[in-house]
C-alpha cells in the first residue's frame, strides 16, 4: 500500500512540474545596406527612361 501511494505522489509531482520556456530567439541579422548601389540604380533608371522616351517619340514622329 505504501508503494502505491508513493508511486501516486511521485507521479503527480513529476507531471505537475512546470516546463521551462524556450530560450529567446537569436537577434535578426543586420539589415542589408542598400545605399551602395542606389546611385547606380538611379542612373540606370534615368538612362532607361530616356531610352523609352526616345523610342516612343521616334515611333510617333
> CA-CA distances (angstroms) from residue 34 to 21, 39, 40, 46, 54?
37, 10, 11, 18, 30
**31 assigned to some structural domain:** no
pTM comes to: 0.43
**56 assigned to some structural domain:** yes
What are the 10-residue block averages of pLDDT along the chain, 61 residues in total?
86 75 84 77 95 89 62
Number of domains in the chain: 1
Query: What is the span of the domain harbouring residue 53?
Result: 36-61
* pLDDT score of 9: 84
Amino acid at each position: 500500500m505504501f508503494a502505491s501511494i508513493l508511486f501516486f505522489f511521485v507521479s503527480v509531482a513529476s507531471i505537475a512540474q512546470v516546463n521551462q520556456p524556450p530560450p529567446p530567439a537569436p537577434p535578426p541579422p543586420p539589415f542589408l545596406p542598400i545605399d551602395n548601389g542606389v546611385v547606380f540604380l538611379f542612373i540606370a533608371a534615368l538612362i532607361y527612361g530616356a531610352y523609352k522616351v526616345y523610342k516612343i517619340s521616334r515611333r510617333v514622329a
